[in-house]
Amino acid sequence: YTRTQRLTAAISAALLGACLVYFAGFSHIAAVHNAAHDTRHSAAFPCH
């Protein structure tokens, strides 16, 4: 793989991860909230 391909993959993965953390962190959907609740608190990410 070229450097550009690796960099594109890394940036894409980082953006996807950030979006998932944002969604789980601020979601008001009960199933998502309950699934990620303990992990958020252990990472000092407030949800209440």
Say what the pLDDT of residue 28 is: 79
Q: Tell me what pLDDT residue 47 has.
A: 65
pLDDT < 70 regions, the chain: 47-48
Asked if residue 26 is part of any domain, the answer here is yes
Domain assignment present for residue 13? The answer is yes
User: How high is the pLDDT of residue 48?
Assistant: 63
The pTM of this model reads 0.58
d(CA 46, CA 21): 12
pLDDT at 6: 98
pLDDT given at position 12? 98
Domain that holds residue 35: 3-42
Please indicate, yes or no, if residue 47 is contained in any of the structural domains.
no
Q: 3-class secondary structure for 9-39? A: HHHHHHHHHHHHHHHHHHCCCHHHHHHHHHH
State the CB neighbour count (10 A cutoff) for residue 36.
19
